[in-house]
Amino acid sequence: MATKEEDLKKILDDFESIGNVIGSAVVRRDGLMIISSLPKEVNSKAVAAMAAAIVGTGETASRELSIGELSQVVVESVSGKLISVGAGADAIFTALIKPKANMGLVLMNMERSSKKISVVIG
């Protein structure tokens, strides 16, 4: 029987197999890292903290503006994108994506992966 860490690693590996993914991670909503496959040159602690802050702010804005539940937060930059989605009550799934990535494919797979993460985290 696989451990939670092994299950999460497989989810990240499967997600990243779609291509044009720089790396991904599962973080706690308080900004602490759960598991990461981000490259060594990326400050994973900073990614975790920023993803939690951005998702928290997005959820607050969505609620205050009465525009429904937050789907995802996308930070688009010249060299890539940071995409973060909720993964249950306790976690966030975040990914760094190359600029040429197919956003429809990425978002579809992020939604699928976040549901699996939610089950594993419990």
Bridge-based pairing of strands 91-97 and 73-77 is unpaired
Summarised one tens digit per residue, pLDDT across range 18-75 is 999 999 999 999 999 999 999 999 999 999 999 999 999 999 999 999 999 999 999 9
Mean pLDDT of all residues in the chain? 95
Residue with tokens 């429809």: 104
The CA angle 110-54-102, to the nearest 5 degrees, is 35
Summarised one tens digit per residue, pLDDT across range 97-107 is 999 999 999 99
Q: Does domain 4-121 have CATH number 3.30.450.30?
A: yes
Query: Which residues, listed in sequence order, are joined to residue 86 by a DSSP beta bridge?
Result: 92
Domain locations in the chain? Answer: 4-121
